[in-house]
Amino acid sequence: MSDAVSSTRDEKRGSRFAPLAAVVLIVLLLAAIPLLTDSPYLLHVINLTFLTILAAVSFRTIIISGQFPLGHAAFMGIGAYSSGMMAKWLGWSPWITIPLGTLVATCVGIIIGYPFSRLRAVYYAMVSLFFGIAVVQIINAGGVWSGGYSGLTGIPPLMGFSKTPYYYLFLIVTFVSLLVLYRFETCRVGTTWKAVAQSYLIASSVGVNEAFYRVYALAVGCFFAGLSGALYAHYNFTIGTSSFDFVATMMFLMYGVVGGMFSFVGPILGTALLVLAPEVARGLKQYVPYISAGILLIVVYGMPQGLIGLPGMIKRLFTGHRKDGAGRAYHAS
Amino acid sequence: MTLTLTVGAIINTLFLASMYILIALGFALLFSIMEILHVAHGVIYMLGGYICYSLSVTLGINQWLSLVLTVAIVCCFGPVLEKFFFRPFFRDFDRTLLVGIGISTIIETTMVLSKSNEAQSLRAFATGILKMGPVSVSNERLVTFLIGALLLVAVIWLIHGTKIGLQMQAVGQDLEASLLQGINIHRISALACVIACGLAAVAGSLLGAYMGLGPFMGDFVFQKALVLVVLGGIGSIGGIFLAGLVVGGIDAFLPLFISGSAASALAIGIVIVVLLLRPRGFFGREMGF
Amino acid sequence: MQSKRRLHSFWFAVAVVAVAFFVFGSVASQAAEPKKIRVGLLVGLTGWFSVPGNIELAECRTAAEMVNDRGGITIKGGKYMIELVPEDMKSTNEGTTAAVNKLIYDDKVQFIVGPSAFWGPASAPLCEANKMINVLGYCANTPGELDKNTPHRILAEDGTMGHTYALIKFIKKNHPDVKSVAIVNADDGSIPYVKPLIAKALQENGISVAGDWVLFANEMVDFSPIASKLAALKADAIFHPNGIDRHVGPILKGLRELGDNRWYFYAGVSPCSNIKTLAGAGATKVVSLAPTPGAPGNPPQLEEFIKRYFARSKQGAALIIQNSSATYVLPQILQAAQSLDANDILKALPRMSNFETLWGPGHMGGERTYGIKHAVVHPLPSQYLDDKGVQKFGGWITDVEVP
């Protein structure tokens, strides 16, 4: 299905300090925002963006291994609901239930990973999609415990009601998680994932245990999705299944494609744009969906490599080089 | 379970199966046969229902004639779909998926903004109730069932019995070989889109009369159609028939025993288990990727 | 792809449109003028609940307009107008929280109206934490929606329980022969909480419940299995506490198709005309608690509201009057308390007795049902389709009680 191989072409051939410096600069800038602004609402939006970025990048992590998890948002939901329910009904502290919720999501990922990983790409996608639907339905059928269709309310907050502590926590958690995920992707595990994605036969002919690595990717992806969900539950104080259904997974795909699926930074950019744009355009009220859909269509039609490919496109525009066949499609048919 | 309830559930199964098959046919033609992922199928279905409404209720044209006209109008979307939404992203599932979602969002939002009425429905295509012993079925459901069955047979004949159908299958199975054989991919795809739109229009009109219209009435279509296609097996329309019966049966019998959302959860769980045991579905062929 | 020139013009057009949208968008969310009370409004303008949501926006604007056209309200000698600040809650719990965040921190509203339907609990944590008075348009009795722990919440509509109590009164008065009912409802999160209350209320009025409640999944599309299940239950009538026309119509259709000709008592707000549209020939013997324009006993403010609302939107659009009820009642609460301070208002609340609601005179209640006496209880109208499907006005239920 999607082939997110080799972002090395986009890595600077020159100084290796440039991207590092850029990252440090961005983190410092982000850290300074709460000190510069007096709008808790802006912090709220950025908090949500942090968590969504985490989930979107974890989505991409699974895609790298050649699996198309169309039920990914359900793991966010599993993390959120297990943590929320444990905190609400068992009275445990959110500091304990959040790691536990993450663990639950990871375990579910591993449990379904083995039977699911035997399936080939498109079948996996379908079964994953149906699994996502099943999780949502099971939560809806949870009666008093999960709040059913009305959602789970009364979730104890992690750190009170002010936005700033959450801001710094999410900034740190997201940054560290992204580092970890980046490390996964660039080290041997990540290369193995990409190998497995490319060809089952060749990978196993070199002694790679294909099933193990696919479940590994799924576990890692579900871990961070579950973490994102669990943090979200104790930040939002109320959760509903509408945040974790197929539409939500499609949003991750959207963020990835808009940003550029073949690059690690792609989903980050895509998420930032597609979360902030509707917020900025809130004044348009009923017309806001046009903005998101508009951005989506513009990028899908006009930018084959997503936003990441934009500098390249502009460069080609100025240097007068013609595109080599509608840009490099990241998917090889 | 009493006799009445059992007989009622069997009738519901047949009707639900025909309903699901009706909405899945257009989607199946494109995805199952030609491997084009038509996410906006639900939206075309919805538009079909609304166009039929405008013709028959607002303009007062005879409802059956409106149905025919609706099909004609919606079929015109077919080539547009093919040229602008499928051709640029041929075989690129991610983008086809996202474009479909983008289009669906735009059209649904437009529908919400242009409608302030809360309930609209087409009049029933057939009135009256047929009673045969313990069985009591409305003529409306009967007509929907018959049309669904007819269309299913027609599509199966089209796919397996005509040259065009064989060409469609060829394009879906092996693109390069079809090109070598001289098949015009774009023309075949456009034709498939036209037929798919027409099928969606019929489904939208019939079910718009049975269930009422709404801007989001197409939301469940994608999910149900996908279940039917995957369960039936990609590449097989006949599989959809069996899948429709199975899913219809589950949806008709489970709510009698299990209350509320638990029934939906169990229904999807059953589908997942079946797929894990037999990923190809009932009669599907192996997908090449 | 295309030639360079077409590519250039494509991107230029995109840039222009993008700039226009962003400028328009940010301008449209400008701050308010002075001497107005900024009232935030939570409605679903996008998403699956957007059809009722957009109707509610128009209704609330109508209600605010009515209050302002009378000269607004007077607090300690100063005149104040109501300024509605709507925010889209996107038909999700998460969207509701985001909208509440925006209203409190960015739009800096003084009060919040909404949500309606079953979205209530989502706005509670933030409003309580910020001591923001939140007037609800509906209450489905789920925990955290309206109880002892939510002292800043006020309910300005009868809610599920109020509607149920009213419908039971209607049945006792007009259908005294009904001694047992089969209950059907959507399986939303409120069922475990309202079930004992509704069962008790029916029992206290000599009506028994046949079998167990028939619950259906919210996203159910075809209701024939539900109709089959209901038809098999032996009871005098069907009772449906909370739902919308999209549920009632098809269930009714299915029942009639199976030959079930019992009365269908529906305690919701969707009008019989909508139910008739969706049920077709099966639309007979159904009762709803929706208002009938021009009916005898309609209070003048309701008639005025209906007239203004239809002038503003398309004639024939259904009325919901949940958030708009809240929008209408809030200014009166403020005027009765003669203060804009949350603490003063809440202290004065128990002393308030009579309100003018869109439905007629209302009073405070809800101590036993919700645990906190913050519910405005008002009369409810009724309408029904007789056995020939003709719509008739069923009279006003004036003695609605929510203990």
Cβ contact, residue pair C226, B255, below 8 Å: yes
More confident residue, C33 or A221: A221
Cβ contact, residue pair C280, B124, below 8 Å: yes
Task: Say whether residue A199 is in contact with chain C using an 8 A CB cutoff.
Answer: no
Task: Say whether residue B163 is in contact with chain C using an 8 A CB cutoff.
Answer: no
pLDDT of residue A78: 95
For A89, the enclosing helix (H) or strand (E) is none
Average pLDDT of span A1-29: 63
The answer to whether residue A67 scores a pLDDT higher than 60 is yes
Q: How far is A119 from chain B (nearest CA, A)?
A: 7
**B contact residues 208-247, partner C, Cβ 8 Å cutoff:** 211-212, 214-216, 219-220, 224
pLDDT of residue A9: 45
The answer to whether residue C30 scores a pLDDT higher than 70 is no
Average pLDDT of span B238-255: 91
- Helices within A159-209 (DSSP H only): 163-186, 188-198, 200-205
Task: Say whether residue C22 is in contact with chain A using an 8 A CB cutoff.
Answer: yes
pLDDT of residue B286: 62
Give the mean pLDDT of chain C.
Answer: 87
* Of the candidates A148, A103, A230, the residue with the CA atom closest to the CA atom of residue C189: A148
Task: Say whether residue B99 is in contact with chain A using an 8 A CB cutoff.
Answer: yes
Average pLDDT of span A154-171: 89
Lowest mean pLDDT among A27-36, C35-44, C292-301: A27-36
pLDDT of residue C244: 87
Cβ contact, residue pair A129, B226, below 8 Å: yes
User: Which of the following CATH numbers is that of domain B3-277: 3.30.450, 2.60.120, 1.10.3470, 1.10.20?
Assistant: 1.10.3470
Average pLDDT of span C313-317: 66
Give the length of chain A: 333
Q: Which of C93, C104, C130 sits opposite A239 (nearest CB)?
A: C93
The answer to whether residue A327 scores a pLDDT higher than 50 is no
pLDDT of residue C316: 58
Q: Which pTM was predicted?
A: 0.87
pLDDT of A35-45, one tens digit each?
Answer: 888 888 889 99
pLDDT of residue B179: 86
- Chain C residues touching A239 at Cβ < 8 A: 93-94
pLDDT of residue A332: 38
pLDDT of residue C32: 40
More confident residue, C89 or A312: C89
Cβ contact, residue pair C213, B259, below 8 Å: yes
Say which residue the tokens 């309609």 belong to: C298
Q: Which residue of B has its CA nearest to A115?
A: B276
Q: Which of B103, B227, B272 sits opposite A131 (nearest CB)?
A: B272
The answer to whether residue B244 scores a pLDDT higher than 50 is yes
The answer to whether residue A4 scores a pLDDT higher than 70 is no
User: Which of the following CATH numbers is that of domain C161-294+382-397: 3.30.70.140, 3.60.110.10, 3.50.50.60, 3.40.50.2300?
Assistant: 3.40.50.2300
pLDDT of B94-138, one tens digit each?
Answer: 888 899 999 999 999 888 888 756 677 777 777 777 777 777 788
- Chain A residues touching C220 at Cβ < 8 A: none
Q: How far is B94 from chain A (nearest CA, A)?
A: 7
- Chain B residues touching A141 at Cβ < 8 A: 260-262, 264-265
Give the mean pLDDT of chain A.
Answer: 84
Q: Highest mean pLDDT range out of A222-226, A314-318, C111-115, C273-277? A: A222-226
Average pLDDT of span B258-268: 85
Task: Say whether residue B91 is in contact with chain A using an 8 A CB cutoff.
Answer: yes
Cβ contact, residue pair A154, C143, below 8 Å: yes
Average pLDDT of span B44-62: 89
For C183, the enclosing helix (H) or strand (E) is strand C180-186
Give the mean pLDDT of chain B.
Answer: 86
Q: How far is C32 from chain B (nearest CA, A)?
A: 26
Q: Which residue of C has its CA nearest to B253?
A: C225
Task: Say whether residue B1 is in contact with chain A using an 8 A CB cutoff.
Answer: no
Lowest mean pLDDT among B25-39, C124-138, C161-175: B25-39
The answer to whether residue C236 scores a pLDDT higher than 90 is yes
Interface test with B, best of A287, A301, A330 (most B CBs within 10 A): A301
pLDDT of residue B117: 60
For B181, the enclosing helix (H) or strand (E) is none
pLDDT of residue A11: 46
Q: How far is A17 from chain C (nearest CA, A)?
A: 33
pLDDT of B169-222, one tens digit each?
Answer: 888 888 888 888 888 888 888 999 999 999 999 999 999 888 888 888 888 898
Every domain of chain B and the residues it spans:
3-277
Fold (CATH) for C36-158+299-380? Rossmann fold (3.40.50)
Average pLDDT of span A62-69: 89
- Chain B residues touching A113 at Cβ < 8 A: none
pLDDT of residue A86: 93
Cβ atoms of A268 and A61 within 8 Å: the answer is no
Lowest mean pLDDT among A16-30, B41-55, C190-204: A16-30
Q: Which two tokens stand for residue C35?
A: 């001497």
Cβ contacts of residue B25 below 8 Å, gap of 6+? Answer: B151, B152, B155, B196, B199, B203, B237, B240
What backbone torsions phi and psi does residue B138 show, to the nearest 5 degrees? -80, 145
Lowest mean pLDDT among A316-325, B109-118, B200-209, B254-263: A316-325
Q: Which two tokens stand for residue C104?
A: 């409190």
pLDDT of residue A316: 82
The answer to whether residue B223 scores a pLDDT higher than 60 is yes
Cα distances (angstroms) measured from residue C291 to each of C268, C320, C321, C375: 11, 9, 9, 21
pLDDT of residue A325: 47
The answer to whether residue B257 scores a pLDDT higher than 70 is yes
**C contact residues 218-247, partner A, Cβ 8 Å cutoff:** 218
Confidence of residue A81 (pLDDT cuts 50, 70, 90): very high
In degrees, rounded to 5, the angle at the alpha carbon of residue C350 between the alpha carbons of residues C347 and C354 is: 125
Every domain of chain C and the residues it spans:
36-158+299-380, 161-294+382-397
* Of the candidates A274, A265, A220, the residue with the CA atom closest to the CA atom of residue A48: A274
Confidence of residue A180 (pLDDT cuts 50, 70, 90): very high
The answer to whether residue A97 scores a pLDDT higher than 60 is yes
Q: Highest mean pLDDT range out of A12-26, A190-204, C283-297? A: C283-297
Q: How far is B170 from chain A (nearest CA, A)?
A: 17
Report the alpha-carbon distance of residue B228 to residue B21 in Å, rounded.
8
pLDDT of residue B1: 64
Residue pairs between chains A and C whose CB atoms are closer than 8 Å: 136
Every domain of chain A and the residues it spans:
39-246
The answer to whether residue A333 scores a pLDDT higher than 60 is no
**Quick check: do C36-158+299-380 and C161-294+382-397 share a fold?**
yes
The answer to whether residue B289 scores a pLDDT higher than 60 is no
Cβ contacts of residue B147 below 8 Å, gap of 6+? Answer: B22, B202, B206
Q: Which two tokens stand for residue C271?
A: 């009008």
More confident residue, A9 or C98: C98
pLDDT of residue C190: 86
pLDDT of residue C19: 65
Pairing state between β C134-136 and C111-113: parallel
Q: Which of A41, A237, A286 sits opposite C102 (nearest CB)?
A: A41
